[in-house]
A and B are shown apart, each in its own frame.
Chain A
Amino acid sequence: MKKITLRLNGELRNVYVEPEEILLDVLRDKLGTKSPKCGCDRGDCGACAVLLNGRSVRSCLVLAIETDGQEIVTVEGISKDGLSKVQNTMLDKNAFQCGFCAPGMIISTTELLDKNPHPNLEEIKEALSGNLCRCTGYLPILESVQEATEEGHHE
């Protein structure tokens, strides 16, 4: 077992891991962060997406031990001090149905808007294309991001 230290949603956390432990499992089972989900275990679906040093990654394809000394943000961190403008727009437009893909979608959206506060539809589609959703048909999610970013500021 090795002790690693990472900054998770702004808080410094210590955890013991074996080299073969997957980041997704450690986040969920040892660090109590349940929002990233296991949808496929192979990096195909995006349900496990988290921000690692500001970039979205498939946490099911990262060994926990690789993240020693690094920074991770999940939806718990994004929602901690209240919902962002995009989240509120998604809520008002009933953008999600079963909600299982929502954390991953929000991670991808956060990454997009951090770099590109006013993306066009093609850019939004590209950013979210790695997050599979079976319920909504995507349009309400895409419209929410468009609407939230058209009005001006992204929080």
Chain B
Amino acid sequence: MAIINDFNYHKPKDIDDTLILLSDLKEKAKILAGGTDLIVHLKEEIVKTENVIDIKGITKLNKIEVSEDNVFLGAGVTFTEIIESAELKEKLPVLWQASEKVASVGVRNRATVVGNICSAVPSLDSAPALLVYDAEILVQSKTSKRTISIHDWFTGPKKTILKPDELVLGINIPIFQHTGVYEKLGRYKGEDLAQAGIGICVDSNKNYRFAYCAVGPIPKRMKKLEEFLKGKDISDELLGEAAKLIPSEISPITDIRSSAEYRTHMMKVMFKRGLQKSVALLKGDRS
């Protein structure tokens, strides 16, 4: 049904045209990629805008580029495109698993990773992966170009550091040898927003990385956990000890989806199970 507020629609052919538009319109424009967030917000009048800029016509932004040490995901790359890439499944398993767990096929065919991080909802599935991968976001305006670390990207629930005249070009993710998982808490097997999420990766030098979503105002790495486990072999006992650190790393809320108590409990469960899986995968690779 209807969006009751009018707006102008622009479909620039290339990045330069887009940047000119953005420098003119700034807050008076919204970028439209997949639309799975923006259109809902326009319908429910959570967002009102005078201009919508559709970037799907810019071919440069629709690319996945894999080199020896880096993956570039353009701003128009959808979750389906990530899932269909065998290369990304191999090289970025945590992001690949997160992509599979976003909503359902019809949404994944349109929703973009960049759109996901721009929405900055605390429960966004792609964040834990990008955080454990130390991803960097490439951003450009008419007058400047910059790289923003994912660790600086989120400034609050639904808030990012992106300026109104800036366009996200894509995300750079350094490649390294590792195994990992993304564990997500939903209310059932069907699609759901995460009530808790943890991205885990381990490498053969016993370095562990953890990042969460949905259990704090912004997604973050879990440094205490990483410090505690660094260099150690994983055992049930160690996992039990490590899990005790989790409540101090997160700050979940109680809302209609879940209680803080259950989210904390499940972070411990997902941490243990996820880490065991990741380590098992690592051993599997080496044998």
Contact = CB atoms under 8 A, between A and B. Distances in A.
Contacts, number: 84
A55 B80 contact: yes
A131 B142 CA distance: 42
Nearest to A49: B106
Given A19-B7, A56-B105, A61 B2 contact: no
Interface residues of A, number: 29
Given A55-B109, A57-B110, A66-B54, A22 B2 contact: yes
A41 B8 CA distance: 22
Contacts of B35: 61-63, 66
A149 interface: no
Nearest to A2: B9
Contacts of A46: 104, 106
B184 interface: no
B105 A20 contact: no
B59 to A, nearest CB: 14
Interface in A58-101: 58, 60-63, 65-66
A56 B32 CA distance: 18
B25 interface: no
B3 interface: yes
B203 to A, nearest CB: 30
A130 B104 contact: yes
B89 to A, nearest CB: 15
A126 interface: yes
B107 A43 contact: yes
A87 B102 CA distance: 28
Nearest to A65: B9
Interface in B65-124: 80, 103-107, 109-110
Contacts of B32: 63, 66
A-B pairs, 6 with minimum CB distance: A130-B104, A19-B9, A20-B3, A55-B109, A61-B39, A130-B106
9 contacts: A19-B9, A20-B42, A41-B43, A43-B36, A43-B106, A55-B109, A108-B106, A126-B105, A130-B107
